[in-house]
């Protein structure tokens, strides 16, 4: 029946569009989370921090958590577990990384801020998580994080927890060795 064809065509189009929509949800989700900051993902690019005004009337506790992923043999920990900061103040925090194995390993740290809504106000000027970190076997190093808390942080937040999970990305790094670039930037 000829009149079926246009309808079938439209229905197939809907089907294809919805298949595409499933994949479109991936970037949409990232954009949505970037705008709202609700999944605790911090910005993957550096903030400048130039024009931040220090608000000495407030004190925010920052807690630092760091853990290697289960496949990652590095020792990975922050120098201190928490510090008190004033919003707008720039601070440096060092993380210790140690590679106890005999081979070179490339690590990538993925940050997550809790509570998620505070992620938008936690700004990093410099971070080891912006790029992949190489460490030869048996070596250790200090990895710096320079950050400040946006003074616009809503009043209900007085503690921010920053968690880093460190992943072993040596294989992926080796695969793209010729055009080695920093995926975090």
User: What are the residues binding another protein (CB under 8 A)?
Assistant: 1, 3-4, 7-8, 11-12, 14-16, 18-19, 21-23, 25-26, 29-30, 33, 36, 38-41, 69, 108, 110, 114, 116-117, 165, 167-169, 172, 183
Q: How far is the CB of 29 from another protein (least distance, A)?
A: 5
Q: Of the two residues 11 and 45, which places its CB atom closer to another protein in the complex?
A: 11
Q: How far is the CB of 67 from another protein (least distance, A)?
A: 12
Q: Of the two residues 3 and 57, which places its CB atom closer to another protein in the complex?
A: 3
Q: How far is the CB of 17 from another protein (least distance, A)?
A: 8
User: Using CA atoms, how far apart are residues 175 and 179, in angstroms rounded to an integer?
Assistant: 10
Q: What are phi and psi of 160, to 5 degrees?
A: -125, 130
Q: Of the two residues 54 and 110, which places its CB atom closer to another protein in the complex?
A: 110
Asked if residues 122 and 93 have their Cβ atoms less than 8 Å apart, the reply is no
Q: Of the two residues 51 and 171, which places its CB atom closer to another protein in the complex?
A: 171
Q: Of the two residues 50 and 71, which places its CB atom closer to another protein in the complex?
A: 71
Joined together, the tokens standing for residue 138 give 């048996």
Nearest CA to 135 out of 73, 70, 179 is that of 73
Q: Identify the helix (H) or strand (E) that includes residue 175.
A: helix 170-175
**What are the angstrom distances between the C-alpha of 4 and each of 8, 9, 15?**
6, 9, 16
Q: Of the two residues 67 and 84, which places its CB atom closer to another protein in the complex?
A: 67
Nearest CA to 124 out of 106, 137, 111, 115 is that of 111
Q: How far is the CB of 40 from another protein (least distance, A)?
A: 8
Q: How far is the CB of 62 from another protein (least distance, A)?
A: 19
Joined together, the tokens standing for residue 29 give 């989700």
Q: Identify the helix (H) or strand (E) that includes residue 17.
A: helix 4-36
Q: How far is the CB of 36 from another protein (least distance, A)?
A: 8
Residue 155 CB neighbour total at 10 angstroms: 6
């Amino acid at each position: 029946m000829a009149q079926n064809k246009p309808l079938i065509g439209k229905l197939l189009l809907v089907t294809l569009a919805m298949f595409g929509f499933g994949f479109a949800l991936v970037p949409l989700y990232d954009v949505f989370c970037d705008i709202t900051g609700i999944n605790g993902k911090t910005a993957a690019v550096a903030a400048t921090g130039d024009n931040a005004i220090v608000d000495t009337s407030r004190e925010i506790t920052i807690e630092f958590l760091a853990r290697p992923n289960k496949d990652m043999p590095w020792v990975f920990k922050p120098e201190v577990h928490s510090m008190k900061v004033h919003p707008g103040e720039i601070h440096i925090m060092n993380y210790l990384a140690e590679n106890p194995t005999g081979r070179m390993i490339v690590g990538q740290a993925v940050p997550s801020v809790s509570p998620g809504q505070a992620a938008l106000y936690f700004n990093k000027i410099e971070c080891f998580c912006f790029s992949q970190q190489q460490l030869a076997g048996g070596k250790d190093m200090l990895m710096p994080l320079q950050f400040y808390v946006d003074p616009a942080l809503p009043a209900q937040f007085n503690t921010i927890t920053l968690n880093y999970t460190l992943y072993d990305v040596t294989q992926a790094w080796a695969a793209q060795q010729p055009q080695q670039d920093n995926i975090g930037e």
